[in-house]
Structure 1
Amino acid sequence: MSPRTTYLDKGVGHAMSTLSAAAKKGLGDPVLAELVMVRASQINACAFCLDMHVDIALKGGETTKRIALLNSWEEAGELFSERERAALALTEAVTFLTDGFVPDATYEDAAKHFDEAELAHLIGLIAVINSWNRLMVSRRIEPGGYAR
């Protein structure tokens, strides 16, 4: 499959990058941020974003084992912390909005592990990676095309 277009308006790209950087910074945990972005990108089948965020996660200290098991994090036992599991559950709930609203139990569990500001940044990060996924998948942007 070749790209339909590689054009992305500079204003849109800059705004998305700024939002992504702000959400990551406010979350304060770069490894968790990458796990969230990888998980959403898995769900959305975005090869470009998966390639990029797996690479960033590994360079940031994440293990190949955890990346390999991320798709089945619920069955991975204690490999992921309670805080990470809460973030991943919220990531899935926000990404799968076609199933309805984010369940109260999922939100409340995340709120136990993140203060109000962190939770707002986590939701912002989930929203922006879903937007990036949609931009890349709809244009069929292939993996490997970002500056490493």
Structure 2
Amino acid sequence: MTAAAASANTAPVRFDLVVPDVFPALLKVHEAVGGHGLDKKLHHLVHLRASQINGCGFCVKMHTREARQDGETNDRLDRLIVWAHVNDFSEAEKAALAWTEALTLLDPKTDYASLRGRLRELFSDEEIGALTATIGMINLWNRIQVSAH
């Protein structure tokens, strides 16, 4: 096998070119989820935390920038990785970040019922649905992006 053939075999797949109908469909999901009342700052925190966990440098950079543009502070962004150990985040944000971690780092020992109970104290079912869809979508985007590393 030539070096050029080996390079072509290991090059990232250009999803936007080989499945061009997928990206617009994914963007429509984001639009639909965005219409269900999830706080914009919370949305950014969830996207950023999942991207940190998934090791997606491109997404971490993008979501950090977007969060700052929407008024998030550097102090909170700096401590997002240790959100459970600091007082920078509200109870609602902490519940959402716990849900984000549970749905990003799938562990059979996770007690989803108690996490849902905590969420229901702070969010409506519609908001929990939007939050869950947001977490699922950022995990999908992270995995598509990481596949190009």
TM-score by length of 1: 0.86
Superimposed CA distance per residue, residues 10-46 of structure 1 (whole angstroms, 9 cap, x where no aligned partner): 2111111111232233143111101000000000001
> Aligned match of 2:12 in 4, 18, 22?
4
Partner of 2:134: 125
Q: Does 1:69 align with 2:107?
A: no
1:112 positional shift: 1.2
Unaligned runs of 5+ in 1: 141-148
> Aligned match of 2:51 in 16, 22, 41?
41
Greater relative contact order, per chain length (Cα 8 Å cut-off, separation 6+): 1
Q: Does 1:106 align with 2:115?
A: yes
Question: Contact 2:64/2:77 (CA < 8 Å) preserved in 1?
Answer: yes
Unaligned runs of 5+ in 2: 1-9
Letter in 2 for 1:74: A
- Whole-Å Cα distance in 2 between the matches of residues 32 and 3 of structure 1? 35
Question: Contact 2:38/2:131 (CA < 8 Å) preserved in 1?
Answer: no
1:104 positional shift: 1.3
Question: Contact 1:46/1:136 (CA < 8 Å) preserved in 2?
Answer: yes
- Whole-Å Cα distance in 2 between the matches of residues 125 and 4 of structure 1? 25
TM-score by length of 2: 0.85
Structure 1 residue matching 2:36: 3-state secondary structure: helix
The alpha-carbon distance between structure 1 residues 51 and 12, as it changes in their structure 2 partners (threshold 3 A), is: same
- Whole-Å Cα distance in 1 between the matches of residues 126 and 11 of structure 2? 38
Identity %: 36
1:103 positional shift: 2.2
Aligned length: 137
CA RMSD of aligned residues (A): 1.6
Letter in 1 for 2:96: A
Partner of 1:144: none
- Whole-Å Cα distance in 2 between the matches of residues 53 and 120 of structure 1? 21
Q: Which has the larger radius of gyration?
A: 2
1:52 positional shift: 1.0
Question: Contact 2:38/2:130 (CA < 8 Å) preserved in 1?
Answer: no
